[in-house]
A and B are shown apart, each in its own frame.
Chain A
């Protein structure tokens, strides 16, 4: 594994069993997260972005299973764990969860246990992973809370979640995620439930954390604006597959996949002409259990060609580090992924 890479996912396939149906939530996803960098995973609801992230730490619901692919995690150069080999809830994966790879969730309002003080909830993760005295833990937590911009941390330490506002709760969630100093932070739509001004605060907070601790971040979002603001690399997902993957500027300046360009076109911009209709992508997201012969996006695609119904398009590397999964680039001079 490349020494710059903290997490690499290769050919991940995650399935859900819903009654008798099998839903292929994630299909052949490969990506890597560089040390100290942010990877954004974008896509609409149900495209498998959260499932990909949850697969990393085996936090899938009981109906979900990783059935193919490897997930490798390297906390430092020369050390490597194969996370996909661990059993769900095994001791090994639990020692990674929270300590090495921690998560922030979408809804801070419901992600904190209402019956414990926030101090207790932050302590819990610290005591699980580190041998530390109660006083030391308290001191460290209060320092962290202060650093995360929570006023009067000594007092707030003994407060219950319902005594915090939404933005403050998300800061507490970040404190829980950061208290063990993880190498990788998975933020699953961390700002979706917050209002816009708070969104910006939380995003800049995450950037500061990254600068101070050198944490790598996977940022899951459906908001292109957040990606542009916060990410170094982007993976665009559609129906469980990565359709486009590359450095931020390349994907934004030169979107290759019709889905990516459609997504970018549908973002409203300040000063947009009030008379022009905002572009949207026609049709609906297909059901996760639908099986496609060809490209999953073809029924909604504007640039459909004769190959599109034939089979899944392979991944093409069109330029350095910029990959796309679309028939349009077949034979366009790029090279095969593998």
Chain B
């Protein structure tokens, strides 16, 4: 089993290389000249084609695609992720600043979504077809169907502008830096990020639980005389979690990259906003690298899914 996972981890390397080539080729087809975004239009008009050409040459834009790729990938392997074409800042520095913010958002989003989603789903399945269940499922449908941007705007309008309880956006007030100073900035984005998740997770947990509670081994467990709570938790939830956890872990990368909208609405300085800014400026090195970060996350979480499945389900572990 360990050998299998070691092999899987090793396989990540060729997979990532292939992905990087595909992204590189894809981005080379993006229309528009990066130079256009580099120089203000009025100044660009004054530049001669020769000057533009020199600029391109100096930026390495004129080389053939494979050469450019090899130069980029060897840099990445050495830990040199390149520089933003727009701000000239080191991408490594940008990521080092942005990624923790996004991870903080995603982490709290996940924790809250997990606790609430699983608990509500569990209650819904135990109190199947009761008023609590109907309320939960109705809220669940609303939660999955209301788009994040609308929810975010509503939250800002109500809690920030109208009630004035929480800041409209940002990550931390000027001059403060402890985590506790950041909490009030986290509440609304985390909430908006988590709601869709809570709803999805609740519905999956409920469905999976209802499926498991009808199984023969639940009746057999009851016939042992153990308490209803233990039947539901040790046998019900334990089995219901297998598919739910797999869905959950599979969606972690979506949570990280999906913060794009939320981060923009709340003006939150994370990866999502960086990606959006980079795309709108054709800042190819930044887009390239952040896409790679997301691709890595997807690959790692799909590996995690398999490990988790093996951990939770002996039938997979022993085959």
Listed in ascending order, the chain A residues whose CB lies under 8 Å from chain B are 57, 59, 89, 94-99, 102-103, 105-107, 110-115, 117, 124-125, 128-129, 160, 162-163, 173, 176
Contact = CB atoms under 8 A, between A and B. Distances in A.
Most-contacted residue by chain A among B217, B221, B228, B239 (CB, 10 A): B217
27 contacts: A57-B223, A89-B227, A95-B225, A97-B224, A97-B225, A98-B224, A98-B226, A99-B225, A102-B223, A102-B224, A105-B220, A107-B216, A111-B220, A113-B221, A113-B235, A113-B239, A114-B239, A114-B315, A115-B238, A125-B224, A128-B226, A160-B314, A160-B315, A160-B318, A162-B314, A162-B318, A176-B224
B306 interface: no
A115 B239 contact: yes
Contacts of B222: 59, 97
B198 to A, nearest CB: 25
Given A94-B227, A95-B225, A163 B318 contact: yes
A114 B313 contact: yes
A114 B216 CA distance: 11
A173 B223 CA distance: 11
A79 B5 CA distance: 59
Contacts of B313: 114-115
B219 interface: yes
Interface of B: 215-217, 219-228, 235, 238-239, 242, 312-315, 318
6 closest Cβ pairs, A-B complex: A98-B225, A97-B225, A110-B216, A125-B224, A98-B224, A160-B314
A98 B225 CA distance: 5
A103 B219 CA distance: 10
A107 B315 CA distance: 18
Contacts of B217: 110-114
A125 B222 CA distance: 10
B contact face: mostly helix, strand, loop, or mixed: helix
Contacts of A173: 220
Contacts of A115: 238-239, 242, 312-314
A94 B223 contact: no
Contacts of A113: 217, 220-221, 235, 238-239
A323 to B, nearest CB: 29
B308 to A, nearest CB: 13
B135 to A, nearest CB: 20
B219 A105 contact: yes
Contacts of A57: 223
A125 B225 contact: yes
Given A59-B219, A105-B216, A105-B219, A129 B225 contact: yes
Contact of B226 (A94, A107, A114, A117): A94
Nearest to B220: A111
B228 A89 contact: yes
Nearest to B317: A160
Nearest to B129: A62
A173 B242 CA distance: 24
A160 B215 CA distance: 17
Contacts of A163: 318
Contacts of A124: 221, 224, 226
B216 A111 contact: yes
Contacts of A102: 223-224
Most chain A beta carbons < 10 A, residue from B220, B238, B242, B312: B220
Nearest to A61: B219
Contacts of B221: 113, 124
B222 to A, nearest CB: 6
A97 B223 CA distance: 6
Contacts of B238: 113, 115
A199 B315 CA distance: 26
A59 B223 contact: yes
A176 B238 CA distance: 20
A112 B220 contact: yes
Contacts of B223: 57, 59, 97-98, 102-103, 105
A117 B224 CA distance: 16
Contacts of B239: 113-115
Given A113-B239, A124-B221, 11 more contacts: A94-B226, A94-B227, A95-B225, A97-B225, A102-B223, A105-B216, A110-B215, A111-B220, A114-B315, A125-B224, A160-B314
Interface centre among A95, A97, A114, A162 (most CB of B within 10 A): A114
A102 to B, nearest CB: 7
Contacts of B314: 114-115, 117, 160, 162
Contacts of A103: 220, 223
Contacts of B242: 115
Given A115-B238, A115-B313, A162-B314, A128 B219 contact: no
A271 B302 CA distance: 61
